[in-house]
Structures are given as C-alpha cells and as structure tokens.
Amino acid sequence: EKTIQKIAAGEIIERPSSVVKELVENSLDANATNITIEIRQGGKSYIRITDDGDGILEEDLSIAFKRHSTSKLTNANDLYRIMSFGFRGEALASISTVSKVEVLTKTNKDKFGVQAFVEEGKIIDKKPVGCPKGTTMIVRDLFYNVPVREKFLKSDISEANHINDIVYKLALGNPGVSFKYIKDNKIIFQTSNNNDILTNIYTLLGEDFSKNLLEINYEDVDFRIYGYISNNTFYRSNRKHQYIYVNNRYVDNNHISNLIECKYKSIIPINRFPVFVIFIDIDPSFIDVNIHPNKQQIKFINQNKLDSKLEYIINSQLNKNLS
Ligand code: ADP
Ligand code: MG
C-alpha cells in the first residue's frame, strides 16, 4: 500500500519544482498577498514557502494532508467554475508521502499558531507556537524514501533552473501578490503587490524586455484581455518569452500564441517571434482546466469566440497604439 502511495505521489510530484508550484498555488488560493519562496540545493534538501494567507485551523490540519481532501470544492458543479488553483486535494498528501514536511500555521481565529511535523503522510509531532497569521511549509529531503526518484533528479543547478522557471511565471502572473525568492541564501528578486503589471515585468524580465512595449487593454461582458506585447530584438527569436495567463494561471497554448503572433505580424511585419505578457480573464465556466494534472494545458469551451475576439483586440489595440 505504501509503495502504491509513493508511486501515485511521484506522478504529481515529479521534482522539486512541482513542490514549489503546488505550495505557492496553495498560498495564492489562501488569499496571500506576500509569499516568500526559499530553496537550497535545487530544492532537493530544502524548500520553504511562507505566506500571509488565511492559515489552516488546527482541527483541519491532519485532513489537509489526506488524499482527496480539499476545502475548495463543495459539489460537482464547482468543477465547472474553478477559480482556485488547486481542487484535487492531492498535493499535500503527495508531498508529505515523499518528503519530511514541517508546517507552521495560524488563522485569524486562533490566538496561537501550531507547528507540526509530517512524515509518510502522518502528523508525527504537533505543538502550539507563536507565529503571525498565515502558513509556512518546509519540505526537507524530497524523495529520501523513494531511491529511484531521487536518483532520477538532475544536478542542483538544473533543478534550481526548473524552479526558477516556475517561480518567475507565478510571480509574473500575480502582480497583486508580492513574491520574494531566495536561492541558496541569496535574494533573487522581490516584487511588489500593487497590481502594476509593468513594474512586475520590469522587476522580473528586466529593462530590455520592458522597452517598446505596446499596451493591450480590452474588456467586454465575456472577457478582459490585457497586457503588453513587443517585437523586442534583445532576445534570440523564440517563444520562450510569450507568457499567457488565463485567470492568473500560466498556460501553455500554442494555438493562442500562434494567433497573437500572426495578427501581430500582419500589422507589424517582423521576421521573429514577438514577446508578450497577456492576461485573459474569463468566467471560469468557459474553461476546462481539468485535462492535465499539471494544469498548464487548458481548453476553452468556446474557442472560436475567443479567437475572433483576440484577433479583433490585437488588431484594434495595435492600430490605436501605432496611430
Ligand atoms: P487542494 O489545493 O487541491 O485543495 P492540497 O493538498 O494542495 O489540495 O491542499 C489541501 C488543503 O490544505 C487545501 O484545500 C487547503 O484547505 C489547505 N491548505 C494547503 N496549503 C494552505 C495554505 N498555504 N494556506 C491555507 N490553507 C492551505
Ligand atoms: Mg493545492
């Protein structure tokens, strides 16, 4: 039974970056406005996520680490209007099956916080502590009890690069949240939480990316589509710097990338890939995020409508900006 649990856990938690992604998404779901991410040795030995979100009630703590327990869905209909990042209730169960987890958490209702240690999915020690509202999760020695998985991990640098990728995407997509990222005792970046996309782009992607950006900003009853696009020549021409967010969730969507690219090139003829950061806010009942466990793939219920909207928006906004 334990072996089966570990295999199942390995499907959700492939590598240290999966832990970071799941824990940060939990912090976002808990309405955090400040999130600190600290990693050591590519996250293999140490990952800490601290947030100032809602916290977890002591009586809910052991449930949170059980499989298929989530506080985020109350009935089947909710599946069609998911706004939260998590909904399967598998992350904490999986993480605590294949690592040693320490949690510190306090809600608004509690006078004291609680500190707990979790191994093999079970709380092995628990005591009251003084701590601010919010949650800290510390994940130590990932895959210490799954030798095949541990052997499969790449070098510290390579695993850290995977984490960088995830952390930058999360921070870029959530300009209302301040992210602080610490790697091997060094602060890599700290964003502000004033909801300013441009400042966020500047902090995370740098001065060069921020040059010559054209603003996109459109809203109607179905969508809000906004962000920045440019033909920035600083980068080698590839699609690495095309960021698409649907309801603040980073998505991999070649179809939308292509569409934006084609429309852009039809107005501004360039023979390279444009760079962009585009946010699409849409009623969650129009999307299906349920098709892949890592949730970077997404399906739109009415893709044609979105397509024609996007074409229209890129067209009109770019022409307006250029005139
Ligand atoms: P899911 O996110 O799919 O609900 P998880 O296993 O990631 O499942 O988390 C289980 C539950 O633990 C969540 O539903 C939530 O109630 C609670 N939880 C986890 N992390 C946090 C956090 N940082 N702050 C508040 N609650 C949390
Ligand atoms: Mg979750």
The CATH number given to 2-190 is 3.30.565.10
Helix, strand or coil, per DSSP, at residue 107: coil
- Looking at residue 34, its pLDDT comes to 98
d(CA 59, CA 54): 14
ipTM tops the 0.85 cut:
yes
Residue to mutate (ligand 1; options 26, 74, 136; most atoms within 8 A of CB): 26
Looking at the whole model, is its pTM more than 0.90?
Answer: yes
- Looking at residue 294, its pLDDT comes to 63
d(CA 170, CA 29): 13
Mean pLDDT by 10 residues, the chain (323 residues): 74 92 95 98 98 96 84 55 69 95 97 96 95 97 93 96 97 97 98 96 90 90 91 72 92 91 88 90 80 71 89 88 77
Residue to mutate (ligand 1; options 92, 104, 114; most atoms within 8 A of CB): 92
Report the length, in residues, of the chain: 323
Q: How far is the CA of 20 from the centre of ligand 1 (A)?
A: 13
Closest to 260 measured CA to CA, from 196, 214, 219: 214
CATH architecture of 206-322: 2-Layer Sandwich (3.30)
Q: How far is the CA of 70 from the centre of ligand 1 (A)?
A: 7
Give domain limits for the chain: 2-190, 206-322
Buried b vs exposed e over 284-311: b needs ≥16 C-beta within 10 Å?
bebbebeeeeebeebebeeeeebeebbe
For atom 10 of ligand 1, the residue with the nearest CA is 64
